[in-house]
Structures are given as structure tokens and as C-alpha cells.
Structure 1
């Protein structure tokens, strides 16, 4: 009997230690399956897979790079939750019945990751991230550069992709942006209220200012202070060999930690300076950051206004405190919040100091030819974790 208890406590699923928080007293079984994108063919690694018992204890694991998962869960009828990112943008719920000491298999058709977010993109000249979004089986709405000037238009979306080559600001005089300042203000408000953005290469100008790109450190107009980040268009056409995936969760999800990146265009934006307390480096070449993200941006003067799809109105992101201290970010129904709060959970992502959305910036993007090698899985990861 003692051996059985030891085995139960130490059971693992996927690549993360399982956390049946009352496993010594609750009979359990196993749930297995494979997470797919909506297209039904692309396996998704790094998705959190969990159930919640009647005491609001969470049993969780993560899908492997090939999408497979194996979860120990309490006996009885339950809901299997599959989420990426914080769960607000992509998630799936599957009813399951777990039998003591037996394995329940989830059909592939039921473990596809659903799109909850409403996604927009601005067409670019050198980047077509929307082609990757649609190849995964998801949908994105094209909006224009002019649409970014209308907050009522962009506030209906959860995620906005700003492709390289999509910016063409209007100037009065030589250095002063005219009515385009509204775009910086709108993006600042959008992010502060929980919306997320993706920017690539020349789209750095949306962050710090500039015209079609950010040609040097110190350009005027953006919503990010230049102490946070600045750029220069001094990148050369080259192959960057032996780049590193710095983020452990990303590396585990995509199944590799090194790659070669082809920069097939000259004058790409190099990151000249960044604040490491503000940004997390996801991909780098030696000490040069190539992909970064932050969820720490906040504009304290921005108005508080709803952002995103109404489907999220009854959902909330929380940091769940597990019994072994391995805190996890999940999205739950708001009706369950009081019970979670009672045992130490708190509102927001475990990794965030604000309630703001994410900002991703990447120096590389999908090429016009579509031949992007291992950069492809990285961009897919970005899409699903915004």
C-alpha cells in the first residue's frame, strides 16, 4: 500500500511534474491525448492541460513538443482544460470521465486548440504572419494602417499583428509626426488594457517612432521610452548560425534550443539597446537579442476601457498557487474565483507585474518564399502565446 502511495505522488505527465494536490486521499486515473492546432494536423507543444476538482485543486501537466500529454486526474466526471499563453486567447474544454486506475483517451478531434481571441493584422511588405495564422487553422481580419487611428476599431480585437513594412507615417515638416500620434496613443491604451501586439523588423517604428522603420536610436514619436529599447537599421543580409532559444518553455514546446536564422533582406532592425528588467529575451545570437517580449508595459494615464472579444467577459486569468510551489497561470470562469482566492490564488499572470497585454518584437519574420526553416515553429509559438 505504501508503495502505491509513493508511485501516485510521484506520477508525471508530459514534461512537467504533475500536481495532484490531494493525491494521498483522492483516487485517480489517467487522461491521455494529443493537442493539435485547429487545422487538426499541427501538434502543439507547451500547452497546459489541467482539470480542477470539487475543492478547486488543480491537476496539471504540459503537452510535449509532439503534442502528447499524460495527466493524472481525480476520479469522476470533470472538464479537461487545454490552454496556451494565459488561456484567454486560445483554449479548449473537453468533458471527461476519469476511472480509478484506468486510462481515458481524448479523441484527436476533441483536443484541437480553439481560437477565442479576435485577431487583426496590418498588411506588410516583407512579413506575412497572417499566412502562418491561417495555416494553423485560425482566422485573422485585415485592418488598415488608417484603422489604427480609431481606437473603437482596434479595441474589438485581442491581438494585433503589425507586419514589417506596414507602417507609412505622414509627416508635417521633416521630423514631427502629424496625426499619426494617435496610433501611438491607441496602441499604448490597447496594451495597457490587456491587448497584445506582435511587431517585426521595420515595425519597430510602431514602438519607438520613425517613418517606415526606426533608422536610429532617438527617433521621435513612439510610446516606448528610449531607455526601454532602441533600434538601428544596420542589419546585413546574412545567415545567423547557432542562435539560441533562451526561453526554456519555448524550447521545450518547439523541441529544439538552437537554430540557424536567415536574414534575407538588408537594413533590418538591430536592437541597439534594451532594458533587461523590462524585456525577456526569447531568441538570441551570442549576446545579441533577436526576439524579445514584455508584459510589463503600462501607461498610467491611459483610460480604462474594455479591450477584446465579449467571449472573454466571463473568464479571468489567475495565478494558481500549487501545493508544491510550482505556480501556474490559467484562465478560469469568473464564478469560480472566490474559491480560488480563498486558498491563495491571485488575479493575473504569474509572470506579470501588470494586467497589461504582451508586446512581442522579433527581428526576423516569415520570408516571402515561405522557406523559414526552424523559425516557423517559433513564430507559431508566438501566435499561440500572445
Structure 2
């Protein structure tokens, strides 16, 4: 059969994102998305590395192999494709595309960091003294990274409001989102070595959308002095399609000016800023449009910093950008910013809202410029909030 790619499709030949899917007849395996179809790569290319429930084995084969396979896929789907290897997207079940090794989350948006600084430390400088010298980050929990469409149970923990004299235990009262991009390491680096910014494009396989769900009240009570823990570790959602880094070449832009100049290991000959536009939808209503091009630290700098102390990196490691926010109110990528700590509710449907209620659904989507014009898509990362009590049933 000939796969028809409608003009303007975000999943055309310049994209070709990878994912893991299953059908009624077969278990999880690797496929590539073309328009509204998924091509079974194990069958189409006759390669058992794709007959696996994650992309890890393929990613571990390295950059030259990624390039060769992308060429074969492009040639294949440009012509006649055996009908038995093609499935409609609507007929398959998506799965977590990677076996996550380690998960690290950064804090790379100056607008987001400044907004939170103004909220939490109104009488101090918004940014901490180290912020413009290094990409600030923390180690998250790989075991709670889930694929888009997975319901999110409202977390419980300790929380202490400003008007309370002691902490109490209970369900999160200020449940939030963070709209982010995630970068998937394809080939790792051994313990005791580091990855330079120049190696980024050969080390990182691709990009996913991330919703780093955040329990703001639990986080506020626990984070001093060691940072996020239970307020973050209960769930992180990613999109099912991994957009190859090579597909984003046309989206490359300079990062914002970095002053002071970063230390040598963080400098880039050709900065890896990316012109990617996100949309955050809350119960079906678009409420924010975060621009990734505004991010102060690039993903190449994040990877260099993550490994500069000799920490090993592995195939399947996931590191996220941190909340993506722009200078305008409607570009803020977290509800704590969008509602200014809950003091400025926004209209969602017929209601004024601040933080997430049970039953709410959040969808984050994104597009970027593609080679030859047009846009390429990342799909979406979707999650619905379940009551805390459902976890005990």
C-alpha cells in the first residue's frame, strides 16, 4: 500500500518519530509514525532489534546506525509498503517508548525561575547567585515515569500552610503541572568520563514532551535544604513518540544571551536552542503557549553539566528541561505561575481555577519548524487526575 501523507501533516517524512505500540495480535514492539499510521519496523525492515518492548536496544547501536535506519525508513515509506506492516494510529495501543535509566529534571527557564523567585522570595533577588553559572537540576525517580494517557492519582504527604502551626498529613491541595521537553540519551558515557557540548547531537537520540506533575504544598514543606522529593516523585508523564534529534535541525536557534559567559565546559560553538512551541490545554481549553526558544540553558549544556563530575550516563537516561515559560503571562508553563501562586485565578470553562481538581485533564502538545517548511509534531502528553482515595481501593 501507499501511505498517503496529507499536506501539512505534522508526521511527514521530515519527522518520522519512533514509538512502542501493540495491537490485538502482537505485543509491544517498535514502530515509526507516518501521518496517521504506524509502521511495524521489525516486520518492515526484518530486524529483530525492533521486536522489543522499548527503543533501548536500537538506541544503543549509536548515531551511525540511527542515520542508516532513518534513511531506510524514508525510502520504504516513500514507496509501496506491505499492508500487513501498517496500522492505523487509532487501532494501536501506545506504550512507554524507552526503558528509563535515570531521570534528571533541570530548571533552565530564566522566566520560570524568576517568577518563582518573586513568588517565594519577594524581598530578595529572584534568581539565586548560582543560577546563571550552571544549569540547576535534581535527580528524579525513573520508576514513576509513565506514558501519556496514564491516569495520575493525587498524591498524599506532609504539607504545612502558612497559617498552620504544624504540618499535617493528607492529600495534595495544590496539584500542578510543568510543561517541559525531555531529552533521551541514546549512547551513554562511562563512569569517570564526561560528555562535551559538542557531543550532544551524537549522544542524544530524540525528544519527548514531558509533564512533570508537581505537588506544590508537599514540595514547599520538604524542599529546604535538599530540594524536591515527594512533591515530584509520584508521577512524570511523557509523550509516546520520540522525535529524532536530527528531525529538529530546522528548529535550531541561538539561546538567549548568556551573561556572564559560561565556564569553558558549558560553552557551545553552535548553540542548541530550539524553536518549539508548546500548548497547554486544561479540560479542553488552551490556557498557555510556552515557547522553548526562550530557555536560557540548552540541552547540550544540560548534558555537559550532568556528566562533568564523572557521573555515568546510560542508554535510556531521560533528562527534562524544567518548566518552559516565556515573558508573557499566557506563556507560563505551570499553573503556580499562571495563577500567581493561586492569587490570580484564571477562567477554565465556567469556573475560576487555580490548581488541579480531581477529574481534571491536562494535555500538552507541541510543534516545531520542519526541513523544507511546514511544522513537525510531537503528539501530546495527556493525563487525568484521580482522587487520592482511589489508590487505596
Note whether the superposition's TM-score is higher than 0.5: no
With normalisation by structure 1, the TM-score equals 0.28
Structure number with the bigger relative contact order (C-alpha 8 A, sep ≥ 6) is 2
> As a proportion of its length, which structure holds more strand?
1
> As a proportion of its length, which structure holds more helix?
2
